[in-house]
Amino acid sequence: MKLSKKWLADFTNITADDKEYADRLTITGSKVEGTADLGADVKNVVLGKMISVERHPDADSLWVCTVDIGAADPTVIVTGADNLKAGDVCPVALHKSKLPCGKEIKKGKIRGVESNGMLCSLDELCLDLHDYPHAAEDGILVFTADEIKGFQLGDDIRPVFGMDDKVVEFEITSNRPDCLSVIGLARESAASFDVPMTVKESVVQGSGGDILDYLDAEIWDEDLCRRFTARVVKNVKIAPSPVWMRQRLRAAGVRPINNIVDITNYVMLEYGQPMHAFDHACLQGGQIIVRRSGSGEIIRTLDGVDRELDDALVIADEEKAVGIAGVMGGARSEITDSTTTVVFESANFNGVSIRKTAARLGMRTDASGRFEKGLDPMSTLPAVQRACELVELLGAGEVVDGIVDVIASDRLPVSLPLEADKINALLGTKISRDNMAAILEKVGFTVDNSNLVTVPSWRLDVHQWADLAEEVARFYGYNVIPATMMRGAAVQGGFNPRQKLERQVGVLLRNLGYNEILTYTFTGQVAYDKVRLSADAPERNSLTILNPLGEDTSRMRTIAMPAMLETLARNASYRNESARLYELGRVYLPNAESETLCDERLHLTLGAYGNGADFFALKGAVEALLEDLRITGVIWTAKSDDPIYHPGRCAELAVDDQVLGRLGQVHPLTCKNFGLEGEVFAAELDLEELFAAMGPERTYVPLPRFPAVTRDIAVVCDEHVTAQELQAVIAGAGVKKLVESRLFDVYTGTPIPAGKKSMAFALQYRAEDRTLTDEDADGATAKILTALETKLGAVIR
C-alpha cells in the first residue's frame, strides 16, 4: 500500500519527519518498506511563460523562445517542438537542472543561438497522457490555467506536479485490509503519534429525481453478498479529473483514466472499499441482481476477454451479467465518452468466493485482493456517498436523489469484556485497565463503564481477548514489554539418543573425508529411469504430488541415489577433480497403513569419484561406520542384478538376514545417464536398519598379558572362492587361540595356474595364561590349513 503524505494530511496532522514516521508506524504494526520523495530526482526546473516564440535564424526545425521565469530578465531557450506560442506556460529546465528521466540539462549553443536550458515534454518528466490528457504527445507540456492556479512564474515545478509529496510504502498484513486505505492508515498514524484524526461525513447535495426510477437491486445469493449499495448520477460529463486527483492517484500508483473511473479508484484508496461504476444505459430492465453465475455463463470483461464463469458471483441485470462481482466489470457496461448516466455501486462480497473466482480466472485485481481479506459491511454506504460528493465537487454530473442499499444480513458488532489481568498475565506487563481502555479507544474501539469493549466494524480480525491483548501490546509498545527468562519447572533439554546417533554418523563420515550435501527430496520417474530401474521396480511406487512444479519434482523419493549421482555429476561438470559426498536424507516409502501415507526413513548415501576412490575405499568407509556403530556379524553378498551398480562390483550388506544397504561401483550405463565419466562409487544404506543392528555399548576388555605369535600363510584356491568364505573357514577351524586373521595379499598370474588365485593371511595367536610356543603356533596353523584344503580346496602355496 502506497500512502501519499499529502493525502494523509487530509485526515490527521503528523509532524514527525520521514524516518520517525516510518519507525513509529513500523513498531505499531504497519511496516514501512520505504519512503519515496516524488521530487527527489528533479532539480532546478521552474514554471516559465513564453514571451515570444520565433523561428531559429539558421534552422527550419528549431524555435527560439524567450521565456519569463519570474526573474528580472527573460531567458532564451531553443526548442525543437512545434506546439508552442507566446503566452504558453511550461516546465522549464534551467541550466544545471535534473529531470526525473535522469537527464541533466546544461546551457549550450544550438546552431549558434545560446540556449539556457530546456522546455520539457511529458516523457522527460516521466509522465504520460494519463497525467496530462490535454498535452501534445510529441510536444512541450503546456499547462492549463487550472493546473497552475496559485503558482508564480519561476516557482519550483515540483509542487505544480504534486512532486512535493512523499509516498510511504507499507507492507500490510492480511488480517488488516482496513489499513489498505488512507483512512485506515490515518487512524493508525494518529494512534501511533497520539494526535486526533477526523473523517468528515460526505455531503451530497443531490439534484432531485428518484433512484428507483432508474434501478432497484436484489441479492439472490445472500451467503455471498452481505450488502449492496448504489447511487445514480445523471447528465454525466466524462472528462479528465482535476490535476490534484490525478496527482494523488499517481502517487498511489494508480493510473488516471477519466473523472468517473478516477473517482471509484480514489474512493477505494481513501476508504479501502472497492467500488464500481457502470453505464446505466447498458442495464436491461432497471433491476440489478446479485447472483451466482450459471455454469458456462460467459462475460466479456473490461479487458476485452470473454470469460467463462463457473459458480462465480456476478452483478447482473435481468438478462445477463454486467460484471464479475469484486473482480472486474463487464465490457458491455464500461464507462465511455458517450456515457450519460452512471451507476456507482459498492458492495460487501464473500471473500472466499471472490478469491476462488479471481484465482480460477487468473485475474487477481486490486479490488479482489481487498475483498478476499474480508471487508467492513458498514463501509459500502460511506464509499458511495463519498463518490457522489466527489462527483459534485468535480462537476462530473448530477446525483439523483435516493440510495439503493440492500442489506442481506447484518453483522452484529463484536463485544467482549476487557480482562486487564488476563492481558497483563499474557504480556508479562502491569498496564492499568484505564490505560488499556485509552489505547483501544485510540483505534476506534469503545469501552463502556461495565468494561465491555465494542470492536469497530472494520476490525474483522478481533474476536477474543488475545486479540485485544495484541491491540494493547502494540500501542503500549512491543519493545517496552520487559524481557524475562522463563520460570517454572526445570526442563531437561538435549538431543535424544537417536538424534545423537545421526550426528555421530555425520562426524564419522566427515572424518573419513566425506562432505555433507542436501538434496531435494522430490523426484520424478525420469530420475528412476536414469538409475535404470525396471518398469516394474518396487522403488517406482512413490507418493505422487498432484500439483507439482514439474514432472521431475512430482514424486517423493523412495531412494536417494539419483540425487547423489546428480550431485556427483554436477560437481564433475564444475571440474571438481574428485569428490566424496554423503547425505543423511529422508526417503518416503508408501504405506497404506501409515497415518501419513508413507514411512519416512532416513537413508545414508555416499558417493565418490577421483583421487583414490575405489570399491574398497568406499567399502572401508562403510566398514568404519559399522565399527563406529558397533555393528558386527555383517554378511557381504555380491549382487549382479542391481541396475544401479556394476554387476561384478556390487555388494549387499546384511546382519541376521536384515539387509542394511548396498554399495558398489556405479554401472557405466547409469553413469552415462547422468553424464558421469570414469569410475564412480556409491552406497545407499538404511540408517534405521543400521541403528537397529547396533550392538551393545562396549565395555573394557583387559589388555593381553602375553605376547601374540603370528604366522603368515598363502593358499592357492579357485578364483571364485571369496575372501569371506576363506575367512569363515579359518575362523571355524576350531583354533581357539586364533585372535585375528587378516587378508594381506591377493595374487593371480604366474606362477599361479589360470583359474586360481593366491590369498595370503596373517594369523595371530594368543593365549591368556602363557606365552605360546612355536609348536603351538605351527600346530594351529596346520589345523587351519587342513580345514582350508578340505573345505575349499585351498592348498598352501
Partner 1 sequence: MKEQLTALKHEALAAIAGAEDLQSLEALRVRFLGKKGELTAILKQMGGLSAEERPVIGQMANALSEKLTGAIAARREALEAVALDAQLVREKLDITIPGTREAVGKQHVMRKTLDEALDIFIGLGFSIAEGPEVELAVNVFDKLNTPDAHPSRDWSDTFYFDRDSEYVLRTQTSPVQVRVMENQKPPIRVVSPGRVYRKDEVDATHSPMFHQIEGLVVDKGITMADLKGTLNALVEQLYGVGTATRFRPHHFPFTEPSCEVDCQCFKCRGKGCPMCKGEGWIELLGAGMVHPNVLRNCGIDPEVYTGFAFGIGLDRMTMMRYNISDLRLIFENDLRFLRQF
SS3 of residue 179 by DSSP: helix
Applying CB under 8 A, which of residues 18, 310, 470, 789 lies at the interface with partner 1? 470
- Nearer to partner 1 by C-beta: 25 or 236? 25
Distance of CA 493 to the CA centre of its chain: 33
Q: Is 598 in the site for partner 1 (CB under 8 A)?
A: yes
- In our burial notation (b when 16+ CB lie closer than 10 A, e otherwise), range 385-396 reads bbbbbbbbebeb
We find the least distance from the C-beta atom of residue 310 to partner 1, in angstroms, to be 16
* Residue labelled with grid coordinates 571440474: 575
Quote the CA–CA distance of 267 and 181 in Å, as a whole number: 9
Piece of the chain touching partner 1 by CB under 8 A; list 311-319, 568-576, 691-699, 782-790: 568-576
- The answer to whether the beta carbons of residues 129 and 122 sit under 8 Å apart is yes
DSSP structure class, residue 327: T
* Residue labelled with grid coordinates 457522489: 388
Quote the CA–CA distance of 163 and 527 in Å, as a whole number: 57
Quote the CA–CA distance of 454 and 780 in Å, as a whole number: 96
Quote the CA–CA distance of 229 and 343 in Å, as a whole number: 10
* Residue labelled with grid coordinates 523419493: 557
Applying CB under 8 A, which of residues 155, 156, 216, 467 lies at the interface with partner 1? 467
Ranges within 27-66 binding partner 1 (CB under 8 A) = 27-29, 31
Piece of the chain touching partner 1 by CB under 8 A; list 215-223, 386-394, 563-571, 784-792: 563-571
- Nearer to partner 1 by C-beta: 34 or 112? 34
Q: Do the bridges between strand 515-516 and strand 579-590 make them parallel or antiparallel, or are there none, so unpaired? A: parallel
Ranges within 509-538 binding partner 1 (CB under 8 A) = 509-522
- In our burial notation (b when 16+ CB lie closer than 10 A, e otherwise), range 127-153 reads beebbbeebbeebbbbbeeebbeebeb
Ranges within 338-377 binding partner 1 (CB under 8 A) = 351-352, 355, 359, 372
- Which helix (H) or strand (E) segment holds residue 704: the answer is none
We find the least distance from the C-beta atom of residue 559 to partner 1, in angstroms, to be 16
Counting residues that bind partner 1 (by CB under 8 A) gives 88
- Nearer to partner 1 by C-beta: 316 or 469? 469
Q: Is 478 in the site for partner 1 (CB under 8 A)?
A: yes
Output the nine-digit C-alpha cell for 471. 491491540
Quote the CA–CA distance of 129 and 545 in Å, as a whole number: 49
- Nearer to partner 1 by C-beta: 284 or 511? 511
Piece of the chain touching partner 1 by CB under 8 A; list 26-34, 154-162, 400-408, 741-749: 26-34
Quote the CA–CA distance of 22 and 36 in Å, as a whole number: 11
- Nearer to partner 1 by C-beta: 600 or 679? 600
Kindly report the length of the chain.
Answer: 797
- The answer to whether the beta carbons of residues 170 and 25 sit under 8 Å apart is yes
We find the least distance from the C-beta atom of residue 519 to partner 1, in angstroms, to be 7
- Nearer to partner 1 by C-beta: 151 or 465? 465
Q: Give which of 305, 308, 422, 367 is closest to 180, Cα–Cα.
A: 367
- Nearer to partner 1 by C-beta: 499 or 632? 499
- Nearer to partner 1 by C-beta: 372 or 398? 372
SS3 of residue 589 by DSSP: strand
Ranges within 409-428 binding partner 1 (CB under 8 A) = 425-428
Its sign, for the CA torsion 666, 668, 669, 674, is: positive
Q: Give which of 190, 145, 161, 179 is closest to 10, Cα–Cα.
A: 190
Ranges within 569-588 binding partner 1 (CB under 8 A) = 570-571, 574, 576, 579-582, 586, 588
- Nearer to partner 1 by C-beta: 340 or 553? 553
- Nearer to partner 1 by C-beta: 380 or 571? 571
We find the least distance from the C-beta atom of residue 77 to partner 1, in angstroms, to be 38
- Nearer to partner 1 by C-beta: 380 or 567? 567
Binding mask 484-503 for partner 1 (x = CB under 8 A): xxxxxxxxxxxxx--x---x
Applying CB under 8 A, which of residues 449, 479, 699, 750 lies at the interface with partner 1? 479
We find the least distance from the C-beta atom of residue 429 to partner 1, in angstroms, to be 7
Piece of the chain touching partner 1 by CB under 8 A; list 100-108, 144-152, 477-485, 701-709: 477-485
Q: Is 744 in the site for partner 1 (CB under 8 A)?
A: no
We find the least distance from the C-beta atom of residue 594 to partner 1, in angstroms, to be 9
We find the least distance from the C-beta atom of residue 222 to partner 1, in angstroms, to be 18
Quote the CA–CA distance of 219 and 226 in Å, as a whole number: 8
